[in-house]
Structure 1
């Protein structure tokens, strides 16, 4: 697993398409219990090299009900983005994750993980890749139980998504407490 993570972190496959160059972000070990399947790192994460070390990560840890030490312990959480590098800025938010990463690397990572108890899908790119496009993200989030025990779908915790959260208060009122309960059971 360490060799695979090192190989991914050295990947330069699409560097010419990346505005800040390649800096693949991934965290995992064989024993990771929960895998966070997200979009791609943002600019702040690209610069720091630390996954989810931004406002989106702060909100995600709040939703999960965990502190930084618990979150950054790879025995607890693996971080497996759809695109490992910052893709660049779009009109609102960031560009979509590069399409090369997931097909190239995800299967090899899954083959190395031995203790996964839950895969948390974060945002529409990972939801469409892993769960198909039949339902939209809101439907997937609302009907999360349909995908259990393997997957749990979340909206992206980006500040850009605050309007989605305002339009869908049921998410933080009803779904987040259930998610936190599930996380605590897995980690205890």
Structure 2
């Protein structure tokens, strides 16, 4: 059952020694967020520091932007019966000496990914957020810009997105087709998949 698997993931300490050697020297805190009934899957990279502290995926400004891209509010986004968030690694990997996010440890996906995906049999729409998700789920080795530019190759059951970090604001401005062409199609598909749960009068605003 999903609850048992979530409990197993929550108790995982495989990367304890690895995290202790990072600049943050933090302890593992996996953030599993899924139920077998979920119809929308958000596949990302790994939790950031704020998510590590709160225990809720995308509980930061990047999450605000992602919810705006999807056209849904926080209540629906955090309804695990409808929306699953399964990153490449369930724990915050820490910072390197320069203060940048470390990559998600491969051992996490190797240990848990197949089991989690095996439970998510109700998913109708998968949203891949960032390069790690593009590579992990589609096996793509192209850059993020090329992958997202070719989003129609995977839609409507899969949408590929850049990371919603505010550091990517410049990228969005340089690629106006993203907001003009991709996002309307993404929001329409999200609404279709999550009906009748979605409330069009409660769309998230950034």
Please say whether Structure 1 and Structure 2 have the same fold, judged by a TM-score greater than 0.5.
yes
User: 2:22 maps to what in 1?
Assistant: none
Cα distance between partner residues in 2 of 1:93 and 1:186: 36
**Once superposed, which parts of structure 1, at least 4 consecutive aligned residues long, lie more than 6 Å away?**
none
Give yes or no for contact 1:38–1:82 (8 Å, CA) kept in 2. Answer: yes
User: 1:160 maps to what in 2?
Assistant: 167
> Under a length normalisation based on structure 2, what TM-score does the superposition of the two structures give?
0.86
Runs (5+) with no aligned partner, structure 1: none
Mapping of 1:55-94 within 5 angstroms? 55-90=61-96, 91=98, 93-94=100-101
Shift of 1:148: 3.0
Cα distance between partner residues in 2 of 1:155 and 1:74: 23
Cα distance between partner residues in 1 of 2:61 and 2:170: 16
Cα distance between partner residues in 1 of 2:71 and 2:100: 25
> Under a length normalisation based on structure 1, what TM-score does the superposition of the two structures give?
0.94
Question: Please, which moves more after superposition, 141-150 or 166-175?
Answer: 141-150
Shift of 1:92: 6.8
Shift of 1:178: 0.9
Cα distance between partner residues in 1 of 2:178 and 2:152: 13
Shift of 1:170: 1.4
| 2:129 alignment partner, one of 98, 122, 133 | 122
User: 1:178 maps to what in 2?
Assistant: 185
1:36 aligns with 2:24: no
Cα distance between partner residues in 1 of 2:105 and 2:73: 30
| 2:32 alignment partner, one of 10, 13, 26 | 26
Question: Please, which moves more after superposition, 149-158 or 77-86?
Answer: 149-158
Question: Please, which moves more after superposition, 157-166 or 143-152?
Answer: 143-152
Q: Aligned-residue CA RMSD in angstroms?
A: 1.4
SS where residue 160 of structure 2 aligns? strand
Give yes or no for contact 1:93–1:160 (8 Å, CA) kept in 2. Answer: no
User: 2:148 maps to what in 1?
Assistant: 141
Shift of 1:149: 4.4
- Higher alpha-carbon Rg: 2
SS where residue 120 of structure 1 aligns? strand
User: 1:17 maps to what in 2?
Assistant: 18
Give yes or no for contact 1:92–1:160 (8 Å, CA) kept in 2. Answer: no
1:3 aligns with 2:4: yes
Mapping of 1:100-111 within 5 angstroms? 100-111=107-118
1:52 aligns with 2:53: no
Cα distance between partner residues in 2 of 1:147 and 1:130: 12
